[in-house]
């Protein structure tokens, strides 16, 4: 949730309502289970678009859709903030920071995307590790 919703230009209000409906359904079925939302994907850093495409529509993709995914994340954070057993990692992902924390080359965004847009195996490992650390920080032993 989040990345594809930004590409379809869902409004934050409509998207938040859908998230709240999903959360309500999950709470009915699994009332004691914590719900975790991972942070939003770094759409602004997708290398899929060629230079000419970036020149023509790059700003639309980078700023409108990239910012929309961050706005959706902010709405998710507000929607679930202070609700019991609900957590959202609202840290904005930057590949520079991920590379630094995981000792990877700092300027090679292609490492993170299997086709320039979808996560690579490395991205799933890094994102999974970061999500695991976040979950452990929220679960009391």
Considering the chain, what is the average pLDDT of its residues?
79
d(CA 31, CA 68): 31
d(CA 61, CA 41): 14
Closest-CA residue to 119 (of 106, 132, 107, 109)? 109
**Residue the block writes with tokens 């020149």:** 55
In this predicted model, what pLDDT tens digit does every residue of 58-92 receive, in sequence order?
Answer: 555 555 666 777 888 888 888 888 888 899 888 88
Residue 14 pLDDT grade (very low, low, confident, very high; cuts 50, 70, 90): confident
In this predicted model, what pLDDT tens digit does every residue of 31-63 receive, in sequence order?
Answer: 999 999 888 777 666 666 566 655 555 555 555
């Amino acid at each position: 949730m989040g990345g594809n919703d930004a590409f379809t230009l869902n409004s934050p209000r409509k998207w938040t309502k859908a998230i709240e409906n999903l959360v309500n359904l999950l709470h009915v079925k699994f009332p004691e289970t914590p719900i975790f939302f991972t942070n939003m994907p770094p759409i602004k850093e997708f290398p899929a678009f060629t230079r000419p495409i970036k020149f023509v529509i790059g700003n639309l993709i980078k700023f409108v859709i990239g910012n929309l995914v961050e706005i959706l994340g902010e709405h998710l954070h507000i929607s679930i903030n202070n609700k019991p057993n609900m957590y959202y990692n609202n840290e904005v992902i930057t590949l520079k920071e991920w590379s630094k924390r995981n000792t990877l080359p700092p300027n090679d965004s292609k490492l993170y995307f299997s086709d320039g847009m979808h996560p690579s195996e490395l991205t799933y490992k890094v994102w999974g590790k970061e999500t695991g650390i976040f979950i452990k920080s929220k679960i009391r032993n």
